[in-house]
Amino acid sequence: MKQMKPFTGKWRIVEMEVWGQEYVDMEVPGYIRIGSDGTGQFQFGLVSGDMDGRVEQCGNAPRFEFSWSGQEENDPVCGRGWAVIENGELNGRIYLHLADDSAFRAVKSA
Residue 41 CA from chain centroid, whole number: 8
In a domain, 4, yes or no: no
In a domain, 66, yes or no: yes
In a domain, 3, yes or no: no
In a domain, 25, yes or no: yes
Our count of domains for the chain comes to: 1
Structural domain boundaries, residue 62: 9-108
Report pLDDT digits (tens) over 69-84: 999 999 999 999 999 9
In a domain, 1, yes or no: no
pLDDT band, residue 1 (cuts 50/70/90): low
Compute the distance between CA of residue 11 and CA of residue 90 in angstroms, rounded to an integer. Answer: 8
With a cut of 90, say whether residue 87 has pLDDT above it. yes
In a domain, 32, yes or no: yes
In a domain, 26, yes or no: yes
